[in-house]
Amino acid sequence: MIIFSDSKQFAEMVMLDDLQWGEADFRSVGGRLTEIAGYVFDWQAVHQAEITSSHCFDYLFISEHSSSSQYDFIIDLCKQNAELPHGILLLAGSGSGFHGQRDRAWESPPGNIYLTAFFAPNKEIHQFGPGFMALPAVSVIDAIDSIEGLNGRSSLKWVNDILVGNAKVGGVLTYTQAMGPEVTGAVLGIGVNVEAPPEVELNEFVPDVACLSDYVDDINLCNLRLVLDSLIHNLDRNYQLLENGDYRQLLDQYRDRSAIIGREVVICADDDKPLPDVIATGRVKSIGENLELYLEGSDAPISRGRLILRM
């Protein structure tokens, strides 16, 4: 994997590998990679290293701070039908202009993971829509499970929030693009609060926030290096499942780690009205094949909305 970074110090802080640096001429990498590097590093001089890896990611762009959404930028390239190589990661140490679902602001202080992953399968993938929605969420759960003291403690709040207890510690976004039956691009946005809980306005949808280090006795066992390394490993492993047609395994884990099955919920319209319209209320019976919700007493699936967990 080739690594580009504008800060050797920050890159070495987040990577487990020993990095041997050289000066990078990212214009020489050619094509859209040059455009990505120019965007990420504002066309400034950067450093380059290379490590041997067994996963599917060939390029990692590490910026200490990003002034805009790298996730959105990669989506824009996809919409231009840009020919991007498979297996690109972009990591920011902090940022501004980041967002969650429906462009809601995502506070991005240093100490956390802000990762964009790009895949170009260029092949037919069974259940690719819900599959790529489940992929980053399940991968974050797997990464948290690797932390001593946190195994089994995290859960998924439909559709894209990661919880420990009732506190939000992360969230994921997904964009997919297909041409006929072939998936030509998938962009995943992943935010995980590792060392610094963001300052956010709490509400019924997000009643509490926390970071992973709040839940461990030894913070040396829960840092950016360890969580990022595990997250990349699990993204690769779970992507291979999806690519090989084993969406069912991802779905089963998504269901198993659900924070809402069997609980009373309120589903609201997914908008930013001060008082959003209530779509449905009730106890969650199950999560369907396409991640839709089924409530007790109703056979009508709910595929969109914003969820409030009743305590």
Strand partners, 49: 3
d(CA 119, CA 132): 10
User: Is 0.85 surpassed by the pTM of this model?
Assistant: yes
Under the banding of pLDDT at 50, 70 and 90, the label for residue 26 is low
Q: Mean pLDDT over residues 188-198, rounded?
A: 95
Q: Mean pLDDT over residues 24-42, rounded?
A: 82
| pLDDT surpasses 80 at 59 | yes
What pLDDT, on the 0 to 100 scale, is given for residue 106?
Answer: 75
d(CA 169, CA 93): 16
The token pair that represents 138 in the structure block: 């399940």
Average pLDDT value for the chain? 93
Convert the pLDDT of each residue in 196-238 to its tens digit. Answer: 998 888 999 999 999 999 999 998 899 999 999 999 999 999 9
d(CA 291, CA 71): 23
d(CA 40, CA 63): 7
d(CA 16, CA 227): 10
Q: Is 19 exposed, middle or buried (0-12, 13-18, 19+ CB in 10 A)?
A: middle
Quote the DSSP letter at residue 25.
-
Share of the chain above pLDDT 90, in %: 79
| pLDDT surpasses 70 at 244 | yes
- Beta carbons of 25 and 50 less than 8 angstroms apart: no
d(CA 39, CA 37): 5
